[in-house]
Structure 1
Amino acid sequence: MNEDLDRPQGRWFEELPVGTVIRHRVRRTLTESDNILFTTLTMNPQPLHLDFEAAAQSEFGQPLVNSMLTLSLLVGLSVHELSVGTLVANLGLTDVAFPKPVFHGDTIHAESEVVESRESRSRPTQGVVTVEHRAYTQRGELVAQCRRTMLLRRRPD
């Protein structure tokens, strides 16, 4: 049995002490198709995302990427290096902010910082970790951030 192949890709609770910063390697360029598909799948009729003529008349001069897509991408970019195979459950998202807009063609990269970590009081094989996720464009602009609280597996004995 190859131990490396059996080990979850994500990090165990013990591997995420407060202060840990992970700069996620995977990036993603958001396209017009991504934005339209996400916006229509989620039943959002906002013209800023779907009506190019209306968006051209806005202060932005072009369509905006749906902020919920940006948030979903931010969390998704973290999963590969943070919680694949070790996550029991997401417990909540708080402090969501979008300081700058995202446009078609922007490439998003992310980082996560552990801001809280404690053993679970009711589940001895698990721990609770809160991370602050931050998304940046290719220009280095902070475009989204949130805090995500996760219930993670502890390293088996």
Structure 2
Amino acid sequence: MGGNMQELGHGFYWQEMEVGRKFKTIGRSVFETDVLSFTGVTGMNELLFNNLEYIEHESPTGKRIAPAVLVLALAEGLVMQGTLQHTGMAFLGMELDMKGPVVIGDTIHVELEVVESRAASKGNRGFVRTKNSVVNQRGETVLVYTPLRMMKGRPESA
């Protein structure tokens, strides 16, 4: 590539993740294929996900819901696209709070706020914690999680 050509999609360095900084991802709809593929791969063959008769008569929503861990995985995909490419080093832990169901056909996005940002004791890296709120098309927060990540620092020559 040319010397001054910037690569699109590059994530942020930890120094760029100042406490209080906020981001919003693009949206993504949740499709039946997502739920079927996810439950098939993971073996999560729960009646709430794959039995239409049970869903209609026994589910609290009466609709086909997406597993919470699928919603988390989709949210992480949205977050990674815009903030972590080339700069994310490790996912170190999180707290998770499910606030409401996500059903097939919902469109979700993630709203992030940096709540912690600090240098690591060694190496050109730091720790960043965000509060990630997964929000549906009705503006309802359906999931909140607070990942702590190790992220690369700006290149030494910058």
Q: TM-score, normalised by structure 1?
A: 0.92
Cα offset for 1:32? 1.0
Instruction: Give 1:5 shift.
Output: 2.8
Q: CA RMSD in A?
A: 1.4
User: What secondary structure sits across from 2:90 in the alignment?
Assistant: strand
- Please report how far the alpha carbon of residue 52 of structure 1 lies from its aligned counterpart in structure 2 after TM superposition: 1.1
Per-residue CA distance 1:55-91 (angstroms, 9 max, x = gap): 1112211221111110111111111221111111111
Deviation at 1:134, TM superposition (A): 0.9
Whichever residue aligns with residue 81 of structure 2, its letter is H
**Do the aligned residues in 2 keep the contact of 1:75 with 1:133 (CA within 8 Å)?**
no
Q: Mark the CA change 1:2 to 1:111 in structure 2 (over 3 Å): closer, same or farther.
A: farther
The residue that corresponds to 1:149 in the other structure is 148
What amino acid maps onto 2:128 in structure 1? V
> Where does structure 1 differ by over 2 angstroms across 4 or more consecutive aligned residues?
1-8
Deviations 1:110-129 (A, max 9, x none): 11111111100132x00010
TM-aligned CA deviation for residue 16 of structure 1 = 0.3
Give the number of equivalent residue pairs: 154
Comparing 59-68 with 138-147, greater Cα deviation is found at: 59-68
Matches within 5 A, 1:97-136: 97-123=97-123, 125-136=124-135
The structural deviation recorded for 1:7 is 7.5
2:14 aligns with 13
Deviation at 1:4, TM superposition (A): 4.0
| Identity over aligned pairs, percent | 30
Q: Does 1:77 align with 2:109?
A: no
Identify if the C-alpha distance between structure 1 residues 62 and 8 changes in structure 2 by more than 3 Å, giving closer, same or farther. Answer: closer
| Gap runs ≥5 in structure 1 | none
The Cα of 1:96 is off from its aligned counterpart by: 0.5
